[in-house]
């Protein structure tokens, strides 16, 4: 037995990818929990109290994205009031100031360095050398630039939806401009990036990290409310493209999920909708690490699988396999491989490629 099923899922030409913060741990980037701690430590007392009082989705603690969403909802409500709030209350100007401070803390925590990762390079090379007949779509929830730096290091063609170089601007049609007779990656950063800004004309731009200085960042604003959909439409566009890709009618359409704990309800809803939409051919294969309560984690993923016509599969640490994707022999073959760690998936792929 050679772990063949997992390798085939990943290198198949119909497969797209969703990569979360866990994939950047091997590049020494923080997890979302660690980043939340960094933001909390750099924030005002009022923000620290607020973060401690917010509920996260499911059984998890609130993270920095929950905090940002809460502040933006609060800002929207404040903006709709006829009577300005009292001096002791949150105000629009104080919310804006706190949001800017949070953005700066995210950039500092993640780092704006442009450094490739050996593991990401090997992963990309393995995909590039597989027999593919379509662009390789990677949807990423991370704010770091490890993937972009790794793509440029190994010199593969890619687009991240921006046009230009020093002062690039977001242009969704860039994802449609697919070169022929070459391997081509499309990178969709669903939660933004440390090198994104919003200029005075309200245009989202990508700039070299060294030129950003104290420029206000776009960084991370998951599209949740009308406020975001009007002012931060780039995220709405990227989420639409994510949903469209999941609903691709091609046979054997697959989504492989690495380094993501399924803590974002918008992403989860898009995945479930992709499976359950009419004429859908999508099957999902997720590799997730253990939570504090692994039994509750297993039950949560079993519930997702039951809603998804059993086309949702999850390997949970080394303990459980949810869904019909692997038979007993295949599960025994991989269960000790710690495949929730990105570097271990890469090792499996490269070993299989050398067989």
Contact in structure between 225 and 72 (CB atoms under 8 Å): yes
pLDDT in tens, 97-135: 898 888 888 888 888 788 999 999 999 999 998 876 789
Q: How far apart are CA 139 and CA 142, in angstroms?
A: 9
Q: Among candidates 304, 295, 291, which has minimal Cα distance to 265?
A: 304
CA 251 to chain centre: 25
For 224, the token pair is: 């949740």
Q: How far apart are CA 160 and CA 40, in angstroms?
A: 30
CA 252 to chain centre: 23
Q: Return the bridge partners of 194, or none.
A: none
pLDDT tens by residue, the chain, 355 residues? 347 888 888 999 999 999 999 999 999 999 888 999 999 999 999 999 999 999 887 667 888 888 988 888 888 888 887 776 665 678 888 888 898 888 888 888 888 788 999 999 999 999 998 876 789 999 999 989 999 999 999 999 999 999 998 889 999 999 999 888 889 999 999 988 888 887 777 788 888 765 555 555 555 444 344 334 444 578 888 999 999 999 998 778 999 999 998 988 889 999 999 999 888 899 999 999 988 888 989 999 999 999 997 899 999 988 899 998 888 888 888 888 899 999 999 999 988 655 4
pLDDT in tens, 53-65: 998 876 678 888 8
Residue 185's SS3 state is: strand
């Amino acid at each position: 037995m050679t772990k063949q099923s997992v390798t085939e899922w990943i290198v198949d030409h119909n497969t797209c990818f969703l990569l979360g913060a866990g994939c950047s741990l091997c590049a020494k980037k923080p997890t979302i929990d660690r980043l939340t701690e960094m933001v909390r430590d750099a924030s005002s007392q009022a923000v620290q109290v607020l973060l401690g009082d917010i509920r996260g989705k499911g059984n998890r603690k609130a993270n920095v994205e929950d905090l940002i969403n809460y502040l933006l909802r609060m800002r929207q409500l404040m903006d709709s009031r006829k009577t300005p709030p009292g001096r002791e209350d949150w105000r629009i100007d104080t919310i804006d100031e706190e949001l800017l401070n949070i953005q700066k803390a995210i950039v500092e925590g993640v780092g704006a360095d442009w450094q490739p990762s050996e593991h990401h390079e090997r992963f990309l090379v393995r995909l590039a050398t597989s027999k593919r007949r379509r662009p390789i779509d990677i949807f990423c929830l991370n704010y770091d630039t490890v993937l972009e730096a790794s793509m440029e290091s190994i010199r593969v063609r890619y687009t991240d939806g921006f046009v230009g170089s020093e002062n690039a601007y977001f242009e969704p049609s860039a994802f449609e401009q697919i070169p022929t007779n070459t391997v081509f990656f499309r990178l969709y950063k669903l939660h933004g990036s440390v090198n994104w800004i919003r200029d005075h004309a309200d245009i989202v731009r990508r700039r070299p990290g060294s030129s950003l200085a104290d420029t206000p960042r776009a960084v991370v604003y998951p599209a949740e409310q009308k406020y975001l959909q009007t002012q931060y439409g780039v995220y709405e566009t990227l989420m639409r493209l994510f949903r469209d890709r999941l609903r691709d009618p091609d046979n054997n359409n697959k989504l492989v999920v690495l380094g993501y704990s399924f803590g974002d309800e918008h992403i989860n809803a898009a995945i479930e909708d992709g499976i359950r939409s009419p004429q859908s051919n999508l099957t999902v294969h997720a590799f997730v690490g253990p939570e504090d309560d692994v039994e509750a984690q297993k039950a949560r993923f079993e519930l997702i699988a039951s809603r998804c016509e059993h086309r949702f599969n999850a390997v949970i640490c080394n303990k459980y396999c949810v869904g019909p994707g692997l038979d007993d022999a295949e599960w025994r073959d991989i269960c000790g491989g710690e495949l929730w760690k990105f570097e271990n998936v890469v090792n499996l792929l490269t070993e299989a490629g050398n067989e």
